[in-house]
Amino acid sequence: MLWLFLTSSLIFGAAHELFVRSFENNMMELSLRPIYTAGEQPKLYLFTQTGHRLAKVTKENSFTFDVSSTDWIIVEGFGKSSLGYPMRGVRPTFLKLSSYRQDPHVFFFTDPEKYLFYIGVRLPQDWKLLDCDFQNLKFRRFSFNGLLYLYTPDKPKDGIHTLKLTFELPYGLRKTTSLDVFVFHGLVNSLRGSTTPMRVEPVAPYTHVVKPGETLWSIANMYGLTIPDLELANGISDGNRIVSGTVLKLAKVYFDSSLTSIVINTATGRLALYYNGFLVKVFPVAVGRSDMTPPGTYWIMKKEIDPALYWFGEYIPPRSPINGLGTRFFQLSNPTYGIHGTTKPWEIGKRISHGCIRMFNQDIETIDAFIDVGTKVVVVRNTEEFPINWTF
C-alpha cells in the first residue's frame, strides 16, 4: 500500500509543495502551497511508523502534528481546484525527521596573541548557516575537517553578550540559536564556560540505587567519591534533588587539559588567570595559614553561585554575614580545598584561611563568568612573577 502511494505520487506528479514552519518538542508545523488555482483549503495528513496521524492543530494553511515515536513521515495532501477537480500529491512526499531533532555544536576560541576570534560549528546533516549576529562584527568563513569556522580580526567588546546563529533546515524551516557569551580582555568564552572534555572511570560496584533519605554526599562518602564525581558522571545539574529509586553510575571523573587555567602563588598572595597559556589578569587573594594550602595541581570540579555553607552539620544560608564563602565557590578535585568569595574583603591579601583561596566577590564573579568546569588549577609557592606565557 505504501509502495503504491509513493509510486503514484512519482508518476502523476505532486499538486502541492510542502513547507516546514516549525519543529519544537516533536510538534511539527507544516503548510502546503497548491501548484494550481485552489477552490478550497487543501487538507494534509501524515502516515508514520505507527500509522496515520491527524493534525493536532489546524489553522489557515497550517497543520501541526505530533511526530513523536516516528523517525520519518509520508505526507498526503488533497485539494480541489477552482474548476472542482480533485488534486492530490505533495512534494516532497517522504521526510526523515533526524535533521529536525538535532542541534548544532558550537564552540569558541580566541587567538590570544593576534586576537582573532573563531566560532566553530558542527552542522547537522542538511543544515546551512545563513547568518551570524554578534556585536555587528563581520565574519569570514572556511571549512576544515567537517567543521565550519567563522572568524573575525575585529576585537570584541568586553562584557556579557548574545551571539545569534541563524540556520536553514530542509524545506523552508529557519532556526536561530542564541548563545550567551562572556568577553574578558577581548577573549571570548561561553558565559560561565562549558565543561572541559573529561574521562569517566567506573568504580565498583558501578551502580547505586538511591534509597529514601540518602543524599549525594552520603553516597559519595560510601564509595570514596566526591559529589562532583557523581554529578558529572550522571549529568546531574542539581545535586540537592535526587529521587529515591534513581540508578546512579559510580565513577571518578578526571580532566586532562583545559583552555582556561589558574595559577595561585601562596607566597605572594596572587592568582593568575590564563587563557590557552596566555596571561590574562592577576588578582589578589587570601591564602591558607602556614602550609594550609599545599602546592600541586588540581581541577575545578564544580562551580556554585551563592553557595550555602555546611559547618560541622550546621546549615548557613547563602549571602549570610557568617557564610564566609561569598557569592561564588569553586570545588577543587581535592575536596578539602576550594576557591571562593568572601564576606570579609579586608582579609584579602592575608594568610588567614583554613586552606581555601579567598577572593573579592567581584573578582571571583568575573572568573566564574569566564572559565570552564575542568579548569586546571596549579598552586605554587615562590617569589617569582607570573610569566606572560605558561606551558601547562
Q: What is the pLDDT of residues 91-100, one digit of tens each?
A: 999 999 999 9
Whole-angstrom distance, CA of residue 128 vs CA of residue 143: 13
Burial of 235 (0-12, 13-18, 19+ CB in 10 A): exposed
Q: What is the mean pLDDT of the chain?
A: 92
pLDDT value of residue 7 = 42
Q: Are 278 and 113 in contact (CB under 8 A)?
A: yes
- Which tens digit of pLDDT belongs to each residue from 253-271? 999 889 999 999 999 999 9
pLDDT value of residue 12 = 52
Q: Is the pLDDT reported for residue 60 higher than 60?
A: yes
Sheet of 57-59, strand order? 57-59, 62-66, 27-34, 16-24, 90-91
Of the listed 185, 208, 354, 356, which one is catalytic?
A: 356
Is 340 part of the annotated catalytic residue set?
Answer: yes
**pLDDT band for position 353 (cuts 50, 70, 90):** confident
pLDDT value of residue 313 = 67
pLDDT value of residue 5 = 44
* Ordered structural domains, the chain, with CATH: 2-100 (2.60.40.10), 103-190 (2.60.40), 198-255 (3.10.350.10), 260-380 (2.40.440.10)
Q: Is the pLDDT reported for residue 2 higher than 50?
A: no
- Angstrom CA distances, 148 to 129, 183, 204, stand at 9, 22, 41
Average pLDDT of span 311-339: 87
Average pLDDT of span 372-382: 96
Spatial CB neighbours of 53, under 8 Å, sequence gap ≥ 6: 45, 46, 47, 65, 66, 67
Own/partner long-range contacts of 338-347 (Cβ < 8 Å, ≥24 apart)? 339/262, 339/264, 339/271, 339/300, 339/364, 339/377, 340/307, 340/364, 341/365, 342/286, 347/286
| In the chain, % of residues over pLDDT 70 | 96
Q: Is the pLDDT reported for residue 87 higher than 90?
A: yes
pLDDT value of residue 292 = 76
Of the listed 16, 132, 185, 340, which one is catalytic?
A: 340
Q: Is the pLDDT reported for residue 290 higher than 90?
A: no
Among 70-84, 279-293, 304-318, the range scoring the smallest mean pLDDT is 304-318
Q: Is the pLDDT reported for residue 324 higher than 50?
A: yes
Whole-angstrom distance, CA of residue 142 vs CA of residue 268: 45
Answer with the residue of higher pLDDT: 180 or 309.
Answer: 180
**pLDDT band for position 9 (cuts 50, 70, 90):** very low
pLDDT value of residue 89 = 94
pLDDT value of residue 293 = 82
pLDDT value of residue 312 = 64
Q: Is the pLDDT reported for residue 6 higher than 60?
A: no
Query: Which residues are paired to 65 by β-bridges?
Result: 28
Whole-angstrom distance, CA of residue 188 vs CA of residue 63: 41
Is 132 part of the annotated catalytic residue set?
Answer: no
